[in-house]
Amino acid sequence: MIVERQHEYIDAARAAGVSPARVLLRHLLPAASGYLAIQLTLLVPAFILAEATLSYVDFGFPQGTATWGTMLQGSGRGTIVAG
């Protein structure tokens, strides 16, 4: 993002009196959209794994909440749910 701030079109927008928020929304965020998509793709599975691990060891959501970790925790005890 720092490299993008040094482009001439950013300087031209500032010279034209454009607000910093508009420069960010109009120029910098579209230039960083590929980076943000990759970060999202890599972080979402890590968050899911972290939540499942914490729920499995009883540090996550309470037992009544349906998450991967609580389901795994229940299956480890041989719990049978009558349907």
Domain boundaries, the chain: 1-31, 45-83
Round to whole Å and give the CA distance between 25 and 16: 16
13, 23 contact by CB (below 8 A): yes
Round to whole Å and give the CA distance between 70 and 73: 5
* pTM exceeding 0.85: no
Residue-wise pLDDT tens digits, 11-67: 888 889 988 888 878 878 888 889 999 999 999 989 888 888 888 788 877 777 788
- Compute φ and ψ for 51, nearest 5 degrees: -65, -45
